[in-house]
Amino acid sequence: TATELPRQAEESSEVLHTPRLTVCIEGNIGSGKTTLLEYFSQYPDVEVVREDVDSWCNVDGHNLLQMAYQEPARWAHLLQTYVQLTLAKNHARGVSEGSKVKLMERSIHSARYVFLENQYRSGHLSHAEYLVACEWYRQLASITDSQADLVVYLQTDPKTCHERVVGRGRPEEAGLPLRLLQDLHKRHEEWLLEGRFPAYGPMIVLNASADLPAMLREYRALGANLGAAGK
Ligand code: DCP
């Protein structure tokens, strides 16, 4: 029998507001987005909006991320269209009263220009699947305000990303090849630095291959530049 996806608990009834500043963090798998977002979650006037990886891993028991890693030709399209949907929801989300900055992990644009593009170029999506997913992107991006006031690109050596991914041992990513991280790095560079696809806001580039103390110094400086109040 047909069943519907259980509705995710509606966000609280709190009235949400348009943020004064929207900042999006872009970077490869293992580039350190999580560390940056955790660092800024201690700032009372910054609201962090994470990529909803948990929901990709559990659509009423279906782990789309794992399915797409195991059998990309079959499932990459489903994963990527779902990822785009969850990111469109993140773009549309307001922030609580008192939050000045919305700090968002990735964007619907990287879903399109990095991940979807890479899946297509790797031969995991048929031409028809690619075109339909691109059309979903165009429509979703046009009905939500998905522009950023600032894009922070965590530029990272793919080998460093690989070491971090291996180190954290996320089950879906077991055996993730360096080659994939090199390809995703190339897609980021083509899009954000070489202008192959449109920008969605002014950008700064941080060297995210550095070690943790150096990264934390960069993040502190970024916070000061955003005018956000730290603790
Ligand atoms: N992913 C995907 N398609 C997308 C976005 C992400 O297949 N459009 C996959 C890649 C990873 C997983 O989802 O296996 C989570 O990706 P992240 O790069 O966001 O991982 P982290 O949250 O761990 O980021 P970081 O390592 O920078 O902290």
- Which ipTM score applies to this complex? 0.89
Residue 80 lies in a domain: yes
Residue 113 lies in a domain: yes
Ligand 1 atom index nearest CA of 106? 19
At residue 227, does pLDDT exceed 90? no
Residue 3 lies in a domain: no
Mean pLDDT, range 127-156, rounded to an integer: 97
Find the range with the poorest average confidence among 2-11, 16-25, 33-42. Answer: 2-11
Residue 2 lies in a domain: no
Residue 14 lies in a domain: no
User: Domain count of the chain?
Assistant: 1
Pocket test for ligand 1, best of 36, 53, 57, 115 (most atoms within 8 A of CB): 53
Rounded Cα–Cα distance for residues 72 and 66 (Å)? 9
Measured in Å, residue 1 CA sits from the centre of ligand 1 at: 33
Q: What is the CATH number for 70?
A: 3.40.50.300
pLDDT band at 47; cut points 50, 70, 90? very high
Find the range with the poorest average confidence among 25-29, 37-41, 170-174, 197-201. Answer: 170-174
Residue 209 lies in a domain: yes
Residue 5 lies in a domain: no
Percent of the chain with pLDDT over 90: 77
Burial (0-12, 13-18, 19+ Cβ within 10 Å), 11: exposed
- Provide the residue range defining the domain that includes 193: 21-225
Q: What does the pLDDT read at residue 74?
A: 98
At residue 69, does pLDDT exceed 50? yes
pLDDT band at 224; cut points 50, 70, 90? confident
Q: What would the DSSP string read from start to end of the chain?
A: ---PPPPPPPPPSPPPB--SEEEEEEE-TTSSHHHHHHHHTTSTTEEEE---HHHHT-BTTB-HHHHHHH-HHHHHHHHHHHHHHHHHHHHH--B-TT--EEEEES-HHHIIIIIIHHHHHTT-S-HHHHHHHHHHHHHHHHHS----SEEEEEE--HHHHHHHHHHHT-GGGTT--HHHHHHHHHHHIIIIIS-SS--SS-EEEEETTS-HHHHHHHHHHHHHHHT----
Q: What does the pLDDT read at residue 215?
A: 87
Q: What is the pLDDT of residues 79-138, one digit of tens each?
A: 999 999 999 999 999 999 889 999 999 999 999 999 999 999 999 999 999 999 999 999
Residue 129 lies in a domain: yes
Q: Say if residues 145 and 174 touch (Cβ distance below 8 Å).
A: no
Q: What does the pLDDT read at residue 231?
A: 45
Q: What is the pLDDT of residues 194-208, one digit of tens each?
A: 999 999 999 999 999
User: Is any atom of ligand 1 closer than 6 Å to the C-beta of 83?
Assistant: yes
